[in-house]
Chain A
Amino acid sequence: MIPLHWYLILAAVLFLVGMLGFFLKRNIIALLLSVEIMLNAVNLTFVAFSSQHGQISGQIFVFFVLVVAAAEAAVGLALVIAMFRNRESLNVDRSNLLKW
C-alpha cells in the first residue's frame, strides 16, 4: 500500500510545476495548460484523501472540478481566439491596453 504522503507530495510538486509555468510562461495557451496541470494536481489530492478516508465525496468533488475545467477551457479558448484576432499575438504582455 502506498502511503498517503507520497500522493500528497507528488500532487504538491505537480501543483508547483503548474504554478511556475503560470508565472514564467508568456504564451496565453501555455498559461491555460499550466492551469490544467494545477487542477489535476488538486484532483489527485482529492482522490488520495477520498481513498484514505473511505469517503466517496472527494471523488464527487473531482467530478465537479472536471466540469468547471471543461467550462474554463471552452471560455478561455474562445477568449484566446478573440485576443488573437485583435492583436495577432498570444503574448500576454502585449495585451496591455488597460495598463498605464
Chain B
Amino acid sequence: MIQILFFFFAALALGAAINVLAQKHVLYSSLSLIVMLTAVSGLFILLQADFLAVINVIVYAGAIMVLFVFVIMLLNLPADPSGEDGIDRMRWLKFAGIPLGIFLLLMIGATVWNVGISGNATQMEGSAEAIGQTLFTDYLLPFELTSLLILIALMGAVVFAKKDL
C-alpha cells in the first residue's frame, strides 16, 4: 500500500516537474509547480515528517507560489514570453547542460549505489513538538539569525521593486 502511494506521489512530482519545463507560459509552469510541491509534501508524510509536509504546503505552495503568480499577473506578459526572439547565437551552447546533467545524475547514482547505508530506518516522529524542541534549543541562534535574513530580504525587495526611492 505504502509503495503504491510512493509511486503515485513520485510519478506526480516527476510529471509535474517536467510539465513545468514543457509549458510555454510561465503561469501554467507555476501552477504545475504547485502540483509538484504538493506531491513532495505527500512524500514527506510517507517519511513521517508531518510538520514539514504541512509547512511545505502552506509556505511553499501557498505563500511563495502565490507571490510568483501575483508577479506574473502583475507583469501582464505577452503570449509567448519565453521568446526565442531572434537571439539564437547561444542555441547550441545551451544544450551543453544536458551532458552535464547526465553526468551529475550518474555521479549521484554511483554514490548512492556505493555508499552503504547503515542501519534500518528508525522510528521517529517529525511532529511539531519534536522539531520545536530541537529548533529552540540546539538551533536557537540560526533561528534568530533567520529573522534578520528575512528582514534584509524584505528591505531588498522593496528597494528593488520600487520605481524611484
- A interface residue numbers (CB < 8 A to B): 1-2, 4-10, 12-27, 29-30, 32-34, 36-37, 40, 43-44, 47-48, 50-57, 59-60, 62-64, 66-75, 77-82, 84-85, 89-91, 93-94
Contact = CB atoms under 8 A, between A and B. Distances in A.
A92 to B, nearest CB: 10
B5 to A, nearest CB: 9
Interface SS of B by simple majority: helix
Contacts of B131: 56, 59-60, 63
Given A19-B101, A66-B60, A78-B158, 9 more contacts: A24-B21, A29-B68, A34-B20, A37-B17, A37-B33, A50-B49, A68-B149, A71-B153, A93-B90
Nearest to A80: B71
Query: Most chain-A Cβ atoms within 10 A of its Cβ — which of B55, B75, B123?
Result: B75
| Chain B interface size range | 35 or more
Interface SS of A by simple majority: helix
Nearest to B76: A84
Interface of B: 2-3, 6, 10, 13-14, 17-18, 20-21, 26, 29-30, 33, 36-37, 40, 43-44, 46-49, 51-52, 55-56, 59-60, 63-64, 67-68, 71-72, 74-75, 77, 81-85, 87, 90, 94-98, 100-102, 104-105, 108-109, 112, 117, 119, 121-124, 126, 130-131, 134-135, 138-139, 142, 146, 149-150, 152-154, 156-161, 163
B2 A47 contact: no
A24 B67 CA distance: 24
Nearest to A83: B160
Contacts of B105: 12-13, 16
B14 A14 contact: yes
Query: Most chain-B Cβ atoms within 10 A of its Cβ — which of A8, A25, A63?
Result: A63
Given A44-B43, A53-B119, A66-B59, A36 B21 contact: no
A59 to B, nearest CB: 5
